[in-house]
Every structure is written in structure tokens, then in C-alpha cells.
């Protein structure tokens, strides 16, 4: 730790070294920003869009228990499992589905439910 403190103090004592550190930091920062337009790094801000998925929201009364919600969703899943085009299902009890592309675009996480 003492070596690091001496290293920092040596930089802070010299005006040339302080300026060099600031310039090198600025160059590194702007070089990192240039990675996006030069395609050195691909930026992907949103998850991929899945055209072959859909969501079903089940709103039960406010005082409903998780067990009651499971009964309602089991009726729905029993119907959906008979469909030949339905390959996979995920069920999220007591909370919404994880935010996907459509939710981000439509701002679903910002909406309030009453």
C-alpha cells in the first residue's frame, strides 16, 4: 500500500505528471467512445425481439392467494398444451414476466396498475 501511496504522491507533486495523467485519461476515454462508430465493439441495448412469443396476463382479484391464481392458470395451460403450435410455456406467479423487447419499447415497466 505504501508503494501505491508513493506512486500517487509522485504524480501529484509534478505538474507535468498530473497533466500527462489527465491527457492519457481523456485519450483513453475518447478512444473507448470511438469503439462504437468504428464497430470494434457492437452495442446492443435491447434484448432481441421474439416474433414467435406472446404473453397472457391473468389478473385475479386483489385478495386472491397464489393458490387461487395457480388454479386459474392451470385451466389456461391445460387448454394451451392441447395446441400443436405451442411448444414451450413459462408461468410467473405473483409477479409479471421479465421485461422483454416489447415491454421496453412500450414502456410497460413505467405503467401503473390499479
Tens-digit pLDDT profile for residues 14-28: 999 999 999 999 999
Q: Residues with Cβ < 8 Å from 76, sequence gap 6 or more?
A: 56, 58
| Of 64, 90, 67, 93, the residue nearest 77 (C-alpha) | 90
Contact 46, 104 (CB under 8 A): yes
pLDDT (0 to 100) of residue 114: 47
| 25-73 tens-digit pLDDT | 999 999 999 988 888 877 666 556 666 777 788 888 888 888 888 899 9
| Cα 57–chain centre separation | 21
> 3-class SS at 40?
coil
Amino acid at each position: 500500500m505504501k508503494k501505491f501511496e508513493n506512486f500517487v504522491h509522485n504524480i501529484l507533486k509534478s505538474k507535468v505528471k498530473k497533466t500527462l495523467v489527465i491527457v492519457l485519461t481523456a485519450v483513453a476515454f475518447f478512444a473507448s467512445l470511438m469503439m462504437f462508430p468504428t464497430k470494434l465493439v457492437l452495442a446492443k441495448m435491447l434484448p432481441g425481439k421474439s416474433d414467435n412469443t406472446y404473453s397472457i396476463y391473468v389478473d385475479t382479484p386483489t385478495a386472491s392467494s397464489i393458490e387461487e391464481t395457480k388454479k386459474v392458470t392451470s385451466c389456461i395451460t391445460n387448454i394451451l398444451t392441447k395446441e400443436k403450435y405451442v411448444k414451450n410455456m413459462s408461468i410467473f406467479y405473483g409477479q409479471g414476466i421479465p421485461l422483454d423487447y416489447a415491454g421496453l419499447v412500450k414502456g410497460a415497466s413505467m405503467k401503473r396498475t390499479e
